[in-house]
Structure 1
Amino acid sequence: MKKIIILLLLTFVCAIHSHAQRVKLITSGQLTRRLSQGHDTTYIVNFWATWCKPCIKELPVFAQIQQQLSGKPLEVIFVSTDDYHKGLKNIGTFVEKHDLGGEIYLMNEPPAIYLPAINKNWTGSLPATLVVWPGKREWKLYKEVLTYEQLLSLLNAD
C-alpha cells in the first residue's frame, strides 16, 4: 500500500512538472528577438492572465485561429502577465486545463520594464493582442477583447 501511495505521488509530481515545462519564462527583449525571427511569418501575441475573465473568455478564439490557419505562415504566442514570482507551476496547470497549444510564456520581468518595451502607450490593460505582420516595422497592439471575426479580419488586412 505504501508503494502505491508513493507511486501515485510521484506520478502527480511528474504531471505538475510536465505542465510547467510547457510554459517558459521570457523577457521583453527575448520576445522582441523571437518576433524578429520569421520574416515571412505573421505573429499573434496574446497577453493574458489567469485572473482576467475577459482573457479566459477570449483564449479559445486564438486556439481556433491557430487551428483554422494551420499550415499558413502564422504563429500564435501566448504570454501570461501573471506575477512571475508565483512561478510556472500555476500557469502550467492553467494551460493544461484550458488546453492551450503553441508557444506559451510567462513574462519574467516587472510591468514597468515590459509594458513600454511592447508598446509605449500600453498601461497593462488586459487582454491585449500584439499583431506583427511580416516585413512591417510597426507592430499593432489591440487593447480589447477580440472576436474570431475581428482577428481574422486583422490577419487579412495585411
Structure 2
Amino acid sequence: MSVLCDKDITELCKKNPPLIDKYYDWEWQLQPAGFDLSVNRIFILDSPGTIYNGRKTNLLPKRHELTCNDEGLFELAKGHYVVQFCEELCLPNNVMALGKPRSTLLRYGGTLATGIWDPGFHGFSQCGLIIYNEKGINISKGASLLHMTFLLLSGESSGFQYNNIHKAVVNDK
C-alpha cells in the first residue's frame, strides 16, 4: 500500500470518472500527499437515529440545514454538526482514502469525526463536525476542513458494497 502524491491524484482526476470532481479551488486544495475537502453544507441533528446490525435499514436522524450569514459564514456554537463537502469522490476499486481534520480547525477549537472511504465509494462525503470552543467558530462555505489521503491498495478490491444499495430512511419519531 502506498500514499498517492499530488501528481498521482492529478492523473486520477483526468480519468472518467475523475477521482475528485466539483472541487472548490484545485490549486489551493491539492496538497503534496492528499487533497483538502471544502465545506458545502452544514446540518444540525434534530432527532435520534437508529443503527441496526446486519442488513436492516438504518434510521437517519432528522436534520435541518444551516444558512450562512450576510458575510457567507456559518456561525457555529459549541456542539455537534454534520458537514457535507463540495467535492464528489469516485474512488477506483484499488484506492481507499483516510480523512483527518486540518490543523487549522483543531487550533480553532473544533474537530471532525471521520472514517475510512472504501475502494469504489462514489458520492459526496459527510462527517461529524464537533465544536469544542466555548465561544464557537465561524466557518465560510468553501473553507478547507478535511485533509483526504488516498492510498493505493496492493490489488483490486470488490468495491464499496453500499453505493446505492442500502439507503437509510429518516427517523420520523
Query: Does TM-score exceed 0.5, indicating one fold?
Result: no
Q: Under a length normalisation based on structure 1, what TM-score does the superposition of the two structures give?
A: 0.23
Q: Under a length normalisation based on structure 2, what TM-score does the superposition of the two structures give?
A: 0.22
- Greater fraction of residues in helix: 1
